[in-house]
C-alpha cells in the first residue's frame, strides 16, 4: 500500500505512533519493530524510516508520549482537588492509575535504555521537570518551609513512593485498594520531614 494513498502529508507520523502504541499494549516492547508498526498502520515497511531513524528512536518517542500522558493525568487530578495533602494524594493516585491502565507504556517511560538516567532526551527533560514541579507545588502547599535541597529530597521521596506503589500494583504484589493507605503514608511522610 502506498503511504500517500492512506495518509496526507503530516498524518503518517502520528498514525505510526498510534499503531506502535497499540502493538506495545498488546504484545510488549520486545516484539515492537518498525516493520510491525508499518504493517499495523497499513503502509510500506520503509515508511516509518521517514519519521524514525530506527527502533530506538520510535521507542524514545513512545516513551515521551506516555510521559506526557502521565503528566497530563496528574495535572487533571490536581485540578479537581484543593492544594496540599489532597493534591499529593491526587498526584500519586493518578500516577498509579496510569501505570495500571498502561503498564507497557509506563514501563517504557522508565526503561533506562530508552530514557537514560541523567541524560533524558530534549523532549523528555521538560516533562520530567514539569512532573517534579507539580509534585513540589503540592508538597510546598503542605509545608511552605521546604525549599532547596530539602524540597528536592522530599519530591524525590514522594515520587519514589508513588512509583514504588505503581510498580507493585502493576506486578500484582500490592492490591490497588491498598494504595489509599499508601497515599496516606505518603502525606504523613511529607508532613514529618525534618526541618533541618
For residue 14, the domain's CATH number is 1.10.10.60
What digits encode the pLDDT tens for the residues 94-146? 999 999 999 999 999 999 999 999 999 999 999 999 999 999 999 999 989 99
CB 89 within 8 A of CB 51: no
CB 25 within 8 A of CB 105: yes
SS3 at position 177 = helix
Say if residue 70 is in the same domain as residue 92. Answer: yes
Alpha carbon 53 to chain centroid distance?
23
What digits encode the pLDDT tens for the residues 14-66? 999 999 999 999 999 998 999 999 999 999 889 899 899 999 999 999 999 99
Say if residue 7 is in the same domain as residue 82. Answer: no
For residue 38, give its domain range. 1-52
Say if residue 79 is in the same domain as residue 105. Answer: yes
Q: What is the pLDDT of residue 196?
A: 54
Cα separation of the two ends of the chain: 65
Say if residue 90 is in the same domain as residue 6. Answer: no
CA-to-CA distance for 168 and 7, rounded, in angstroms?
Answer: 41
Q: Is residue 170 part of a domain?
A: yes
Secondary structure letter of residue 115 according to DSSP? S
Instruction: Name the pTM for this structure.
Output: 0.88
Say if residue 76 is in the same domain as residue 43. Answer: no
Say if residue 7 is in the same domain as residue 80. Answer: no
For residue 153, the domain's CATH number is 1.10.357.10
Say if residue 153 is in the same domain as residue 113. Answer: yes
pLDDT at 176 over 70: yes
| Region for 195 from its dihedrals, namely left if φ exceeds 0, alpha if ψ lies in -120 to 50, beta otherwise | alpha
Q: Is residue 40 part of a domain?
A: yes
pLDDT at 177 over 90: no
Among the three residues 30, 52, 74, which one is the final residue of a domain in this structure?
A: 52
SS3 at position 45 = coil
Q: Is residue 196 part of a domain?
A: no
pLDDT at 1 over 90: no
CA-to-CA distance for 110 and 196, rounded, in angstroms?
Answer: 32
With bands split at pLDDT 50, 70 and 90, how would you rate the model's confidence at 90?
very high
Q: Is residue 152 part of a domain?
A: yes
What digits encode the pLDDT tens for the residues 137-165? 999 999 899 999 999 999 998 999 999 99
Say if residue 45 is in the same domain as residue 120. Answer: no
Amino acid at each position: 500500500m502506498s503511504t500517500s494513498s492512506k495518509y496526507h502529508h503530516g498524518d503518517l507520523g502520528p498514525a505510526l505512533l498510534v499503531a506502535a502504541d497499540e502493538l506495545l499494549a498488546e504484545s510488549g516492547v520486545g516484539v515492537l519493530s518498525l516493520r510491525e508498526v508499518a504493517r499495523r498502520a497499513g503502509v510500506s515497511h520503509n515508511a516509518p524510516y521517514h519519521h524514525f531513524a530506527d527502533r530506538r528512536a520510535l521507542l524514545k518517542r513512545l516513551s515521551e508520549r506516555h510521559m506526557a500522558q502521565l503528566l497530563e493525568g496528574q495535572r487533571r487530578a490536581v485540578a479537581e482537588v484543593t492544594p496540599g495533602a489532597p493534591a499529593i494524594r491526587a498526584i500519586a493516585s493518578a500516577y498509579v492509575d496510569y501505570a495500571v491502565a498502561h503498564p507497557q507504556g509506563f514501563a517504557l517511560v522508565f526503561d533506562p535504555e530508552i530514557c537514560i538516567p541523567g541524560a533524558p532526551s530534549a523532549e523528555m527533560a521538560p516533562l520530567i521537570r514539569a512532573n517534579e514541579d507539580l509534585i513540589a507545588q503540592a508538597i510546598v502547599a503542605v509545608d511552605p518551609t521546604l525549599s532547596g535541597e530539602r524540597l528536592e529530597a522530599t519530591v524525590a521521596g514522594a515520587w519514589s513512593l508513588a512509583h514504588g506503589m505503581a510498580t507493585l500494583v502493576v506486578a500484582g504484589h500490592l492490591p490497588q485498594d491498598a494504595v489509599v493507605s499508601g497515599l496516606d503514608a505518603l502525606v504523613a511522610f511529607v508532613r514529618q520531614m525534618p526541618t533541618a
